[in-house]
Amino acid sequence: MIKFISVAASATIALSPLVALAQTPPAYGPSINLDGARKAIAAAEAEAKKNSWPMAIAVVDTAGQLVAFARMDNTQVASLDIAIGKAKTANNFKRPTKALQDVLAQGGAGLRLLAVRDGLPLEGGVPIMADGKIVGAIGVSGMASNQDAECATAGAAAVAGK
């Protein structure tokens, strides 16, 4: 009996990183339009400028397709594709990319995320919500991931009216 409890406890601990991904995410709504995407980019860019952070900023629709993109002066070239990847990942997984980064960092069963095609588990991608539904996502890259996320969150909040 003790062995069974020990095995059950070990299995629970091993699978706990995946619980966050198993929760029912919000539904998709109508896709963000160009005006909404520009609003998100403007807010993310304002946050980046306030901190003197050169950023690449991408907004995708509910199909994960690029709607708008901005590259600030002096942004590293690698950040262009990373920003788009973060936006697509946040949209397609229906959650901030930080959730995926955290699961991956815990190792174990979370490492299976590495096998997901086109998934970018790096903080800085955030779903954009309107009326409780996902209308797209924003991805930001150029600085440390937590700084990218700060700008992405500002962009998503501008569309949500927060």
Position with higher pLDDT, 65 vs 112: 65
Under the banding of pLDDT at 50, 70 and 90, the label for residue 139 is very high
* Cα dihedral sign, 84-151-133-119: positive
Q: What is the pLDDT of residue 6?
A: 40
Alpha helices in 23-162 (DSSP H): 34-50, 78-93, 97-105, 145-160
Q: Is 126:151 a contact under the CB 8 Å cutoff?
A: no
Q: What is the pLDDT of residue 75?
A: 98
The structure's pTM equals 0.85
CA distance 20 to 131: 23
Q: Is 144:38 a contact under the CB 8 Å cutoff?
A: no
CATH number, residue 42 = 3.30.450.150
pLDDT in tens, 90-99: 999 999 999 9
Q: Which helix (H) or strand (E) holds 137?
A: strand 133-141
> Which residue range is the domain that position 26 belongs to?
2-160
Quick one: which of 114, 156, 154 has its CA closest to 137?
Answer: 156
pLDDT in tens, 99-114: 999 999 999 998 998 8
Q: How many domains does the chain have?
A: 1
